[in-house]
Amino acid sequence: MDVFSLIGPVMIGPSSSHTAGAVRLGRLARAVCGELPRAVKIQLHGSFARTYRGHGTDLALVAGLLDFPPDDERIPQAMERARAAGLAVSFESAELPHAHPNTARLYIQTASQSCVITGSSPGGGEVLVTDVDGFEVELRGHYPTLLTIHQDRPGVVASVTGLLAKNEVNIARMRVSRSIRGEHALMVIEVDEPLPASLLRAAALLPGIVAARGIPPV
Protein backbone atom coordinates (compact mmCIF):
# COMPACT_ATOMS: atom_id res chain seq x y z
CA MET A 1 0.00 0.00 0.00
CA ASP A 2 1.39 3.40 -0.96
CA VAL A 3 0.63 6.86 0.39
CA PHE A 4 -1.98 7.51 -2.33
CA SER A 5 -3.91 4.44 -1.18
CA LEU A 6 -4.14 6.05 2.26
CA ILE A 7 -5.03 9.62 1.36
CA GLY A 8 -7.03 8.91 -1.80
CA PRO A 9 -6.65 10.03 -5.41
CA VAL A 10 -6.31 13.54 -6.80
CA MET A 11 -9.89 14.32 -7.71
CA ILE A 12 -12.84 16.65 -7.96
CA GLY A 13 -14.69 15.67 -4.75
CA PRO A 14 -16.43 15.06 -2.52
CA SER A 15 -15.92 11.27 -2.29
CA SER A 16 -13.21 8.91 -3.51
CA SER A 17 -15.71 6.09 -3.89
CA HIS A 18 -18.85 7.94 -5.00
CA THR A 19 -17.09 10.53 -7.19
CA ALA A 20 -13.52 9.64 -8.21
CA GLY A 21 -14.28 5.93 -8.44
CA ALA A 22 -17.46 6.63 -10.35
CA VAL A 23 -15.51 8.68 -12.92
CA ARG A 24 -13.09 5.78 -13.41
CA LEU A 25 -15.98 3.35 -13.69
CA GLY A 26 -17.56 5.44 -16.44
CA ARG A 27 -14.24 5.71 -18.28
CA LEU A 28 -13.67 1.98 -18.04
CA ALA A 29 -17.17 1.25 -19.34
CA ARG A 30 -16.57 3.54 -22.30
CA ALA A 31 -13.21 1.90 -22.99
CA VAL A 32 -14.75 -1.57 -22.95
CA CYS A 33 -17.34 -0.45 -25.49
CA GLY A 34 -14.63 1.20 -27.55
CA GLU A 35 -16.29 4.46 -28.55
CA LEU A 36 -18.34 7.41 -27.35
CA PRO A 37 -21.81 6.27 -26.28
CA ARG A 38 -24.88 7.84 -27.84
CA ALA A 39 -27.33 6.73 -25.15
CA VAL A 40 -26.82 5.22 -21.70
CA LYS A 41 -29.26 3.95 -19.10
CA ILE A 42 -27.56 3.70 -15.71
CA GLN A 43 -28.99 1.57 -12.90
CA LEU A 44 -27.72 2.53 -9.45
CA HIS A 45 -27.65 0.05 -6.58
CA GLY A 46 -27.36 0.44 -2.81
CA SER A 47 -25.48 3.48 -1.56
CA PHE A 48 -25.04 4.75 -5.11
CA ALA A 49 -28.83 4.84 -5.49
CA ARG A 50 -29.42 6.55 -2.14
CA THR A 51 -26.77 9.27 -2.27
CA TYR A 52 -25.83 9.79 -5.91
CA ARG A 53 -27.17 13.34 -6.18
CA GLY A 54 -25.48 14.56 -3.00
CA HIS A 55 -22.13 13.01 -3.88
CA GLY A 56 -22.27 13.84 -7.56
CA THR A 57 -22.11 10.20 -8.61
CA ASP A 58 -24.40 10.92 -11.56
CA LEU A 59 -22.09 13.70 -12.77
CA ALA A 60 -19.05 11.51 -12.17
CA LEU A 61 -20.33 8.54 -14.17
CA VAL A 62 -21.29 10.77 -17.08
CA ALA A 63 -17.93 12.56 -16.92
CA GLY A 64 -16.23 9.18 -17.17
CA LEU A 65 -18.33 8.22 -20.16
CA LEU A 66 -17.06 11.44 -21.77
CA ASP A 67 -13.52 10.21 -20.96
CA PHE A 68 -12.77 12.90 -18.36
CA PRO A 69 -10.21 11.95 -15.66
CA PRO A 70 -11.16 12.13 -11.94
CA ASP A 71 -9.46 15.51 -11.47
CA ASP A 72 -11.06 17.19 -14.49
CA GLU A 73 -12.56 20.59 -13.66
CA ARG A 74 -15.37 19.94 -16.18
CA ILE A 75 -16.96 17.20 -14.03
CA PRO A 76 -19.57 19.55 -12.44
CA GLN A 77 -20.74 20.42 -15.99
CA ALA A 78 -20.86 16.79 -17.14
CA MET A 79 -24.58 16.80 -17.97
CA GLU A 80 -24.29 19.89 -20.13
CA ARG A 81 -21.18 18.49 -21.79
CA ALA A 82 -23.01 15.23 -22.48
CA ARG A 83 -25.92 17.01 -24.16
CA ALA A 84 -23.48 18.98 -26.29
CA ALA A 85 -21.80 15.73 -27.33
CA GLY A 86 -25.13 14.13 -28.26
CA LEU A 87 -25.11 11.70 -25.33
CA ALA A 88 -28.51 10.95 -23.79
CA VAL A 89 -28.35 9.65 -20.20
CA SER A 90 -31.00 8.35 -17.81
CA PHE A 91 -30.78 7.04 -14.24
CA GLU A 92 -32.87 4.63 -12.21
CA SER A 93 -32.56 2.76 -8.92
CA ALA A 94 -32.26 -1.02 -9.01
CA GLU A 95 -31.68 -3.94 -6.68
CA LEU A 96 -28.77 -5.92 -8.11
CA PRO A 97 -28.36 -9.32 -6.42
CA HIS A 98 -25.10 -9.90 -4.51
CA ALA A 99 -23.73 -6.54 -5.64
CA HIS A 100 -21.38 -4.24 -3.73
CA PRO A 101 -23.29 -1.25 -2.25
CA ASN A 102 -21.52 1.14 -4.67
CA THR A 103 -22.53 -0.57 -7.91
CA ALA A 104 -23.77 0.71 -11.25
CA ARG A 105 -24.99 -1.20 -14.30
CA LEU A 106 -24.63 0.69 -17.57
CA TYR A 107 -26.68 -0.12 -20.66
CA ILE A 108 -24.64 1.55 -23.38
CA GLN A 109 -25.62 2.19 -26.97
CA THR A 110 -22.97 3.45 -29.39
CA ALA A 111 -23.16 4.15 -33.08
CA SER A 112 -22.33 0.53 -33.91
CA GLN A 113 -23.12 -1.68 -30.92
CA SER A 114 -24.70 -2.08 -27.51
CA CYS A 115 -23.14 -3.42 -24.34
CA VAL A 116 -24.06 -3.92 -20.70
CA ILE A 117 -21.39 -3.37 -18.06
CA THR A 118 -21.67 -3.83 -14.30
CA GLY A 119 -19.06 -2.46 -11.94
CA SER A 120 -18.49 -1.14 -8.44
CA SER A 121 -16.41 1.48 -6.66
CA PRO A 122 -15.24 -0.15 -3.41
CA GLY A 123 -13.28 2.86 -2.12
CA GLY A 124 -10.13 4.92 -2.53
CA GLY A 125 -10.92 5.65 -6.16
CA GLU A 126 -10.61 1.95 -7.06
CA VAL A 127 -13.10 0.24 -9.38
CA LEU A 128 -13.97 -3.33 -10.31
CA VAL A 129 -15.94 -4.29 -13.42
CA THR A 130 -17.51 -7.67 -12.73
CA ASP A 131 -19.72 -8.29 -15.76
CA VAL A 132 -19.51 -7.49 -19.47
CA ASP A 133 -22.52 -8.56 -21.54
CA GLY A 134 -23.28 -11.43 -19.18
CA PHE A 135 -19.69 -12.68 -18.93
CA GLU A 136 -18.04 -12.66 -15.49
CA VAL A 137 -14.85 -10.59 -15.45
CA GLU A 138 -12.46 -8.93 -13.01
CA LEU A 139 -11.29 -5.70 -14.58
CA ARG A 140 -9.77 -2.93 -12.47
CA GLY A 141 -8.38 -0.57 -15.09
CA HIS A 142 -4.77 -0.56 -13.84
CA TYR A 143 -3.09 -2.23 -16.82
CA PRO A 144 -3.30 -2.07 -20.60
CA THR A 145 -5.78 -4.81 -21.40
CA LEU A 146 -6.71 -6.97 -24.35
CA LEU A 147 -10.36 -8.03 -24.37
CA THR A 148 -11.54 -10.63 -26.86
CA ILE A 149 -14.82 -12.30 -27.65
CA HIS A 150 -14.09 -15.63 -29.30
CA GLN A 151 -15.49 -19.00 -30.20
CA ASP A 152 -15.20 -21.43 -27.30
CA ARG A 153 -13.02 -24.07 -28.95
CA PRO A 154 -9.52 -25.50 -28.47
CA GLY A 155 -6.59 -23.42 -29.66
CA VAL A 156 -8.15 -19.96 -29.72
CA VAL A 157 -6.74 -18.85 -26.36
CA ALA A 158 -3.33 -20.25 -27.28
CA SER A 159 -3.32 -18.32 -30.56
CA VAL A 160 -3.92 -15.05 -28.71
CA THR A 161 -1.30 -15.65 -26.04
CA GLY A 162 1.10 -16.82 -28.76
CA LEU A 163 0.59 -13.56 -30.62
CA LEU A 164 1.41 -11.61 -27.46
CA ALA A 165 4.54 -13.70 -26.91
CA LYS A 166 5.62 -13.16 -30.51
CA ASN A 167 5.34 -9.41 -29.96
CA GLU A 168 7.19 -9.65 -26.61
CA VAL A 169 4.17 -8.48 -24.63
CA ASN A 170 4.23 -9.86 -21.09
CA ILE A 171 0.96 -11.08 -19.55
CA ALA A 172 0.30 -9.87 -16.01
CA ARG A 173 -3.08 -11.55 -15.50
CA MET A 174 -5.76 -13.23 -17.58
CA ARG A 175 -9.23 -14.67 -17.20
CA VAL A 176 -11.53 -16.53 -19.58
CA SER A 177 -15.28 -16.63 -19.01
CA ARG A 178 -18.05 -18.35 -20.94
CA SER A 179 -21.81 -18.58 -20.56
CA ILE A 180 -22.50 -21.79 -22.52
CA ARG A 181 -19.91 -24.42 -23.40
CA GLY A 182 -18.99 -24.46 -27.07
CA GLU A 183 -20.46 -21.06 -27.92
CA HIS A 184 -18.79 -17.71 -27.21
CA ALA A 185 -16.29 -16.84 -24.49
CA LEU A 186 -14.80 -13.57 -23.29
CA MET A 187 -11.13 -13.25 -22.39
CA VAL A 188 -9.47 -10.43 -20.47
CA ILE A 189 -5.66 -10.27 -20.62
CA GLU A 190 -3.88 -7.57 -18.61
CA VAL A 191 -0.37 -6.83 -19.87
CA ASP A 192 2.66 -4.83 -18.81
CA GLU A 193 3.01 -2.51 -21.80
CA PRO A 194 0.71 -0.62 -24.16
CA LEU A 195 -0.80 -2.68 -26.96
CA PRO A 196 0.14 -1.40 -30.43
CA ALA A 197 -2.61 -0.97 -32.99
CA SER A 198 -0.92 -3.48 -35.28
CA LEU A 199 -1.18 -6.18 -32.62
CA LEU A 200 -4.87 -5.44 -32.05
CA ARG A 201 -5.52 -5.71 -35.78
CA ALA A 202 -3.66 -9.02 -35.89
CA ALA A 203 -5.60 -10.35 -32.91
CA ALA A 204 -8.91 -9.49 -34.58
CA LEU A 205 -7.91 -11.58 -37.61
CA LEU A 206 -7.01 -14.73 -35.68
CA PRO A 207 -9.22 -17.79 -36.37
CA GLY A 208 -12.09 -17.98 -33.91
CA ILE A 209 -11.88 -14.36 -32.78
CA VAL A 210 -15.19 -12.49 -33.01
CA ALA A 211 -13.89 -9.17 -31.66
CA ALA A 212 -10.66 -7.86 -30.13
CA ARG A 213 -10.31 -4.56 -28.32
CA GLY A 214 -7.55 -2.75 -26.48
CA ILE A 215 -8.48 -1.09 -23.19
CA PRO A 216 -6.07 1.54 -21.85
CA PRO A 217 -5.55 2.06 -18.10
CA VAL A 218 -7.98 4.50 -16.51
- pTM of the full structure: 0.86
Domain residue limits, the chain: 3-133, 145-215
For 3-133, CATH number? 3.30.1330.90
Given a contact cutoff of 8 angstroms between Cβ atoms, the answer to whether 177 and 158 are in contact is no
Q: How many CA atoms lie within 13 A of 217 on its CB side?
A: 9
Specify the pLDDT at position 129.
Answer: 96
3-state secondary structure of 133: coil
Per the CATH hierarchy, to which homologous superfamily does domain 145-215 belong? ACT domain (3.30.70.260)
Specify the pLDDT at position 12.
Answer: 53
Q: Per-residue confidence at 165, pLDDT binned at 50, 70, 90?
A: very high
pLDDT tens digits along 115-144: 999 999 988 789 999 999 999 999 999 999
DSSP secondary structure string for all residues of 134-148: TEEEEE-SSS-EEEE
CA 12 to chain centre: 20
DSSP secondary structure string for all residues of 45-57: ETHHHHHHHHHTH
